A and B are shown apart, each in its own frame.
Chain A
Amino acid sequence: MSASTTEAVAQHSLQHHFATMEQQRQSTTLGMWIFLVTEIMFFGGLFTAYLVYRTAHPDVWEMGSQHMEFWLGTINTVILLTSSFFVALSVHYAQRGMTKITALLLFLTVLCGIGFLGIKAVEYHNHYKEGTVPGPWWHYNQVENPDGTTRPAPHELQLFFYLYFVMTGLHALHVTIGIVLLALIGLWAWQGKYTAEYHNPVHISGLYWHFVDLVWIFLYPLLYLIANKHA
């Protein structure tokens, strides 16, 4: 894109109430950071409930973690970290004005996101079959003992799974929103909407995706890594 066209794109993207592109860029970036703080507090309520109940029922939490599929969770963590890498690179290329590469990287990120959701769907389905979906679908009432006999499952196990589903469900909802957002931004990047002077939407959408990754970085050890069953 020629210098004058990129300038024209930039000027066209300057909203009337801002004096300069820099002011607009700083404002939208700050806005996104503040939004991420609201998300911290939103998830934070669930983490608080987790904290309270885990300290109250540590054995049940360990039992619950044994029902998590370690490898699926680990693969999902790898997928999300990789997707963050792609997003960070896409911002880099947007800064250099190479928007086709930006778009490709964003589409790769979207694919990672879809992969993540696919694995989560498999996990959820497995839990459903096992009977550990809380509420009307719960039918996991007997726990196997080491000697083959069974004992009744503790009631608090439902609490663990409730938190599991709500926390990962809310996270998956945010992943879905991120997928839609990045797909849109990727499409616009492909169509040349962004330039080296004006690409902050790519940047702040990336921030959102990184945040989604951050939440998972904490969900993973808290849900999957409590019990050392995979030694």
Chain B
Amino acid sequence: MATTAVANPVERENYLNTNYGIKSWLLTTDHKRIAILYLISITLMFFIGGFFATLIRLELLTPQGDLMTADTYNKVFSMHGIVMVFFFLIPSIPATLGNFLIPMMIGAKDLAFPRINLLSWYIYIVSACLLIYVIVNGGVDTGWTFYTPFSTTYSNTNVFLAGIAIFINGFSSILTGLNFIVTLHRMRAPGMTWSRLPLFCWSHYATSVIQVLGTPVIAITLALVAIERVWHIGIFDPKVGGDPVLFQHMFWFYSHPAVYIMILPSMAVMSEIITCFSRKRIFGYAFVALASIGIAVIGFLVWAHHMFVAGISAYAALVFSLLSYFVAVPSAIKVFNWTATMYKGNISLRTPMLYALGFIGLFTIGGMTGLFLACLGIDPHVTDTYFVVAHFHFIMVGGAVMAYLGGIHFWWPKMTGRMYSEIWGKVAAFLIFAGFNLTFLPQFILGYAGMPRRYHAYVPEYQVLNVLSTAGASILALGYLLPLIYLLSSLRNGAIAGDNPWAAQGLEWKTSSPPPTFNFEETPVVTWEAYDYEQMPKEVPVVS
């Protein structure tokens, strides 16, 4: 058991202790502090979204709609979706880990536009406050998908304000993406060529391209919905020659790529964790990098697979179904390459690796069920059922959230200078994995058996599986609460981490933990390839 020999480096000057006081945090332009600000805000929104999920699962314990009315249930699942998609998943990894790490990984002092970075956070906060006001004021009942004409004409809830909140939130996403693209093009340290860039950066680059190209479209779409709410002018109104399906085209043009905004950063984390805990180079660096770009590009070509039964032409359905099969290919390439990376590696089952292994399995299941949905013969039977719900939760929760937690656990020592309790880390990871599977596997069966989504009541035949699902959700909730406790506790009681507790490769590990405000004492000059684990110890050290 090696103890790191650095004498309390958290007392050295670093980005956390360089300035105290609320003003130094609220007016900071340090990308690391902004990342922490985001971390706190996003965690809060996660638990708000989780609160709504709890209400959903409680209602679905019994076949009757006895906990709440149908109208209330509509609001509950709508707010769950809006909060989780726009205010948790989309910002999660990029705004926290991306913000913190990208400048360090490329050897820069900060992002290209530090003040715009801070502005991004403020825009996020304004939009989140507006959304919380909407929640308190009764929420919306349109689903996070805001389909017309219900959202524009018939709903009696706060569609206008919710649309504005998401509109504003979009700018936060756009500015973050813009910042990352310029940073990766212009701020790399000498010797840090594109082919030496950590795959974390490649994936975030692809994510940023999607954010920049897609988010403006949802902005204008929701703006049109808002205008229609206020002035009753119907661009999607058939009475004046409009088409409600056009809304769906415009909505999904962004919202499908949005799911790649949510998964690409998760894949970014995977590439870093798996290489470190297999003590090996990534297998097929170029393929993984290009696959990220491939996902971003092809992801824009498939949106109408959400609309197979909406009234699009059969020909369009054919085209989009075919394209949807293609989008699976780059994701599969990445899974193969991560697996090949682990082959003959020296696997170390620490907490981040547990999350990574969970990700690979659950993401694969989620992705493959997506192929079932892309199939025109199957989709009409399972669309708008719990099959779809299970599919996207496998990717979003089993994939994205687990990768997020894995990333937090991997870089926690870097961000805070402290190690958390490995035992509690493992316990939480197992609880989350077990709870997740118990929650969502039954939902595949439920959906295939015909249980529709977005209904607060169901036929009694479905109850057993629903009870299992709710039981799983309670375990999952416990699993999510644990890291909150032991991670926060590590800030006081955790072992001092040292510069590189995992003996990982990457520029971020070559500076102190927590890092100094300007990241490096001197700008590094890079002369080595990425994931050069041959130079590193064969075992991940144990820090206590």
Contacts and interface: CB of A to CB of B under 8 A. Distances in A.
Nearest to B189: A19
Nearest to B238: A155
Nearest to A138: B233
Interface in B428-480: none
B377 interface: no
Interface in B287-337: none
A44 B523 CA distance: 41
Q: Is the interface of A mostly helix, strand, loop or mixed?
A: helix
B231 interface: yes
Given A17-B109, A159-B242, A135 B233 contact: yes
Interface in B154-183: 174, 178-179, 181-182
A143 interface: no
Chain A CB count within 10 A is highest, among B108, B178, B253, for B178
Given A17-B108, A158-B240, A52 B246 contact: yes
A31 B113 contact: yes
B250 A34 contact: no
A166 B181 CA distance: 31
A48 B232 CA distance: 21
B239 A38 contact: no
Interface in B75-128: 108-114
Chain B CB count within 10 A is highest, among A19, A26, A38, A156, for A38
A41 B112 CA distance: 23
B118 to A, nearest CB: 13
Q: Is the interface of B mostly helix, strand, loop or mixed?
A: helix
Contact of A163 (B182, B187, B235, B253): B235
B187 A27 contact: yes
Given A17-B110, A31-B112, A45 B250 contact: yes
B352 interface: no
Contact of A56 (B111, B187, B241): B241
Interface residues of A, number: 37
B233 A162 contact: yes
A156 to B, nearest CB: 3
B182 A159 contact: no
Interface stretch (B42-50, B220-228, B266-274, B498-506): B220-228
Given A17-B109, A30-B186, A38-B213, 14 more contacts: A27-B112, A27-B182, A30-B182, A38-B178, A42-B219, A45-B216, A49-B235, A49-B246, A49-B250, A52-B243, A134-B231, A155-B239, A155-B241, A156-B240
Interface of A: 16-17, 19, 23, 26-27, 30-31, 34-35, 37-39, 41-46, 48-49, 52-53, 56-57, 60, 134-136, 154-156, 158-159, 162-163, 166
Please name the 6 residue pairs, one residue from A and one from B, whose CB atoms are nearest each other, closest first: A156-B241, A45-B220, A42-B216, A135-B231, A17-B110, A41-B216
Interface of B: 108-114, 174, 178-179, 181-182, 185-187, 212-217, 219-221, 224, 227, 231-235, 239-243, 246, 249-250, 253, 523
